[in-house]
């Protein structure tokens, strides 16, 4: 019983203190303005400004895939359309240039759709 109460307090504590900036709900909000017509079998590339060794990088990639299913997201910049997931205020043009990408549509909330110059 005491263990259960302890666990319950744990949940309440977590719920009160975290701001939910990371997670499915937060990510679904980020992608709210993404074209609703995501077709099955469509393949998008993916690029993020989060360093690859950051533990949240992989989780964010998985979240993007989860939110945009049934489209398939590849961790590559060689697809025709590439989703750029950025955390700075503005889209980092240097990052795009390095990866041979040019902006196609800024979705907002840190999400942009780019075209690859090297498909």
Partner 1 sequence: MMLLLWLAAIWLAGFGVVRWMFPQPLRWSLHNIFLFSLGIGAGAGIASCLYFLTLVLAGATFSLLPAAGGVALVVALALFLFARKSALLDWAEGPAVPRYLTALFVVAAALGLIMFLGAVAYNPHGEEGAWSIWNMKARFLFRAGAFWRDAFSSDLGFTHPDYPLLLPGLVALCWKLAGQESTNAPVAIAFLFLLGTAGVLVSALGVLRGKTPALLAGTLLLGSASFVALSAALYADVPLSFYILATLALLCLQDRHPEDMRFTALAGLMAGFAAWSRNEGIIFLLAVIVARAIALIRFGERKLLVPQFLRLLLGLAAPLGVVTFFKLRIGGLGDWIAVPASTLLHHLSEPARWIVLLEGLVIILFNFGRFLIPIFLALGLYWYLVRFRTLVGTGMDTRDRAGLATAAIALALTLGVQLVVDVLYLDNLALEIGTSFERIMLQLWPGALLAFFLASAPLQLIAPKLQEKGTKEKRAHKGARRVAETR
Q: Which residues bind partner 1 (CB under 8 A)?
A: 1-8, 11-12, 14-15, 23-25, 40-41, 43, 59, 62, 65-66, 69-70, 72-74
Query: What does each C-alpha distance from 67 to 9, 28, 73, 89, 94 come to in angstroms?
Result: 30, 6, 10, 22, 27
Min dist. Cβ of residue 97 to partner 1 (A): 26
Min dist. Cβ of residue 74 to partner 1 (A): 6
Closest to partner 1 by CB, 72 or 97: 72
Min dist. Cβ of residue 21 to partner 1 (A): 14
Closest to partner 1 by CB, 25 or 52: 25
Closest to partner 1 by CB, 15 or 52: 15
Min dist. Cβ of residue 117 to partner 1 (A): 22
């Amino acid at each position: 019983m005491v263990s259960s109460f302890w666990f319950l307090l744990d949940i309440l504590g977590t719920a009160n203190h975290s701001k939910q900036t990371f997670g499915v709900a937060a990510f679904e909000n980020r992608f709210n303005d993404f074209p609703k017509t995501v077709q099955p079998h469509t393949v998008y590339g993916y690029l993020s400004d989060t360093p690859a060794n950051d533990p949240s990088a992989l989780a964010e990639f998985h979240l993007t895939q989860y939110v945009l299913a049934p489209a398939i997201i590849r961790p590559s910049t060689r697809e025709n359309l590439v989703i750029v997931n950025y955390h700075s205020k503005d889209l980092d043009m240097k990052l795009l240039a390095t990866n041979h990408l040019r902006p196609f549509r800024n979705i907002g909330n840190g999400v942009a759709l780019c075209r690859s110059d090297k498909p």
